[in-house]
């Protein structure tokens, strides 16, 4: 139950806040702070859910300094495997058959164990080698329990330290909670694998291991097993693979609208035939049509080194938001672009530039959307992979040639197709309704003395009228309250009327009480509206 975890989580958070207060009182410099280390150790001590939470926070380059990110990236799923009997029970319950009826061989000992799941090697009856990903029993209930407790602690922390509001912790907790539940549903991962496999089926340079039909559920996922060389192996064709990787991600960003969000070296390897293989689709990012267009504009503005254009593109993309002084932001972006202008082209980093632009806008009421957080992390990992494959690879050269063609072609096709389909549908519906609308309009015109009948609608005026009514009522009430305070003070001053409690005028006390009650009503109404 949540009650059993809440005291421990609360004590851990209180310990972190106490250390933060001590370091602030002592004036401890940021580079000497023990808080990042203490946070990592605390998360590890709280168990698998909080290890995952820390790993998710390590993506938030927009919120946390580099020292904190470096510490959180050390979090590993150091979790002991669950018993083999539980693994067998989970597989048989999920797939509805005994393990021996599904697999020719099934290795009892897992090849890897993590906080969400563990993986076993197996072989199907037709001889295919597969991996069996099995969800840890009870993990979804544990996630729900721990995250509910964290929400309660977060609310308490906000009451104690209101300055934390700028980080929007409750919204961040909800976001992480949703992502953890999504990651623990293997049907989502199976759908992603199938979508990527279908999208790249005709690409001779890429390989996506397929999911085995009818052998995946919410708790179990069976996938083809594959292996090869790491991308850092000196025997691989680095320049060719680097170009393949960039082409693949351009296609994912601007054509598919979804992308593999975790391309670290452990999830990328080279098949014996030279194909680049993607593994682990537990983290997938999504880009809708509007975001794809904004990303294309952002990349072009960066390539053209136009600070004003880049600012507008960053706002449209969602890297910046909330109130801003445009001149200050333009100067900040000009400095970022000037820094890159002094570097060799191969050392330019789209990911680093996006992060620096986002950090310009650390406003009170703005949090970068999760899909952009995943996007920035993916860009960092892709750039690291490219430098591993080909240290001299020039990303901007590719964007200026094949990248721009891919972006513009895909976006034109998507926009034209969607716009044409909508226009065709709307025209057809209007053509069907037009005779009836025209007949009704003529009938009303004849009824109104033969003159044309014109109806004008003002959308939004109702809400404006209601707002003005409320404002007028509050002003009137404020004047009445002021009058009551003045009248009660005069009655008190001149001791008019009967007295109670010795020499206290009864009418004056009544006036003060009524004024206080109305004041409370007015303040509460304003507070509920959210506008002071």
Annotated catalytic residues are: 262
236 in Cβ contact with 244 (< 8 Å): no
C-alpha to C-alpha distance for 377 and 55, rounded to whole angstroms: 12
C-alpha to C-alpha distance for 519 and 512, rounded to whole angstroms: 10
C-alpha to C-alpha distance for 176 and 52, rounded to whole angstroms: 9
C-alpha to C-alpha distance for 170 and 33, rounded to whole angstroms: 25
Give the Cβ contact number of residue 19 at 10 Å: 17
Counts for the chain of helices (H) and strands (E), in that order: 19, 14
DSSP notation for 282-333:
SSEEE--HHHHHHHHHHHHHHHHT-HHHHHHHHHHHTSS-SS--HHHHHHHH
Half-sphere CA count of 36, side-chain side, radius 13 A = 19
Reduced 3-state DSSP string for 376-437: HHHHHHHHHHHHHHCCCCCHHHHHHHHHHHHHHHHHHHHHHHHHHHHHHHHHHHHHHHHHHH
Q: Which long-range contacts (CB under 8 A, 24 or more apart) does 311-316 make?
A: 314/357, 314/358, 314/361
C-alpha to C-alpha distance for 178 and 452, rounded to whole angstroms: 56
40 in Cβ contact with 64 (< 8 Å): no
Burial class (CB in 10 A: 0-12, 13-18, 19+), 261: buried
Q: Is 242 helix (H, G, I), strand (E, B) or coil?
A: helix
207 in Cβ contact with 196 (< 8 Å): no
C-alpha to C-alpha distance for 79 and 115, rounded to whole angstroms: 6
Comparing CA positions, the residue from 211, 372, 332, 344 lying closest to residue 281 is: 211
Residue 82 vs residues 9, 87, 119, 376, 517: alpha-carbon distances, Å: 24, 7, 11, 34, 62
C-alpha to C-alpha distance for 46 and 243, rounded to whole angstroms: 43
List the alpha helices (DSSP H) in 1-138: 2-26, 35-46, 48-57, 66-72, 84-95, 99-102
Report strand pairing: 117-124 vs 499-500: unpaired
Residue 49, token pair as written in the block: 């859910």
Comparing CA positions, the residue from 290, 300, 246, 242 lying closest to residue 270 is: 242
C-alpha to C-alpha distance for 242 and 127, rounded to whole angstroms: 33
Residue 92, token pair as written in the block: 């048989």
């Amino acid at each position: 139950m949540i009650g059993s975890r809440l005291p421990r989580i609360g004590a851990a958070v209180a310990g972190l806040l106490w250390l933060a207060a001590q370091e602030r009182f002592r004036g401890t410099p940021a580079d000497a702070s023990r808080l990042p280390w203490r946070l990592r150790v605390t998360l590890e001590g709280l168990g698998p859910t909080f290890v995952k939470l820390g790993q998710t926070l390590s993506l938030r380059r927009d919120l946390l300094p580099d020292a904190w990110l470096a510490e959180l990236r050390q979090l590993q799923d150091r979790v002991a495997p669950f018993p083999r009997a539980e693994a067998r029970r989970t597989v048989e319950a999920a797939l509805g058959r005994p393990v021996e009826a599904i697999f020719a061989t099934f290795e009892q000992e897992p090849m890897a164990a993590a906080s969400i799941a563990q993986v076993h090697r197996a072989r199907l009856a037709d001889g295919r080698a597969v991996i069996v990903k099995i969800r840890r029993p009870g993990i979804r209930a544990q996630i729900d329990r721990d995250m509910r407790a964290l929400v309660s602690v977060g609310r308490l922390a906000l009451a104690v330290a209101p300055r934390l509001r700028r980080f929007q912790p409750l919204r961040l907790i909800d976001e992480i909670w949703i992502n953890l539940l999504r990651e623990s549903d293997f049907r989502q991962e199976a759908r992603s694998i199938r979508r990527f496999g279908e999208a790249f089926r005709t690409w001779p340079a890429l390989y996506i291991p397929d999911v085995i039909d009818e052998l995946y559920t919410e708790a179990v996922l069976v996938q083809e097993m594959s292996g090869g060389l790491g991308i850092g192996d000196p025997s691989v064709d680095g320049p060719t693979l680097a170009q393949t990787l960039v082409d693949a991600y351009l296609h994912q960003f601007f054509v598919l609208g979804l992308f593999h969000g975790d391309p670290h070296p452990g999830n990328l390897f080279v098949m014996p035939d030279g194909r680049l293989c993607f593994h682990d689709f537990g983290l997938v990012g999504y880009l809708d049509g509007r975001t794809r267009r904004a990303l294309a504009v952002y990349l072009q503005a960066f390539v053209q080194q136009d600070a004003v254009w880049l600012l507008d593109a960053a706002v449209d993309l969602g890297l910046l938001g909330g109130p801003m002084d445009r001149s200050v932001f333009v100067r900040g972006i000009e400095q970022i672009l000037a820094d890159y202008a002094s570097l060799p082209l191969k050392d330019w980093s789209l990911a680093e530039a996006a992060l620096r632009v986002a950090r310009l806008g650390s406003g009170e009421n703005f949090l970068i959307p999760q899909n952009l957080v995943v996007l920035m992390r993916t860009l960092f990992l892709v750039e690291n992979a490219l430098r591993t494959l080909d240290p001299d690879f020039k990303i901007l050269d590719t964007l200026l040639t094949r990248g721009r063609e891919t972006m513009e072609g895909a976006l034109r096709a998507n926009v034209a197709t969607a716009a044409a389909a909508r226009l065709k549908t709307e025209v057809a519906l209007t053509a069907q309704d037009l005779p009836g609308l025209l007949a009704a309009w003529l009938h009303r015109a004849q009824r109104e003395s033969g003159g044309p009948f014109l109806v004008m609608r003002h959308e939004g005026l109702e809400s404006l009228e209601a707002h003005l009514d409320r404002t007028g009522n509050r002003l009137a009430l404020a004047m009445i309250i002021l009058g009551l305070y003045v009248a009660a003070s005069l009655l008190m001053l001149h001791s008019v009327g009967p007295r109670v409690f010795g020499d206290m005028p009864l009418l004056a006390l009544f006036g003060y009480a009524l004024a206080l009650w109305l004041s409370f009503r007015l303040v509460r109404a304003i507070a509920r509206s959210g506008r002071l």
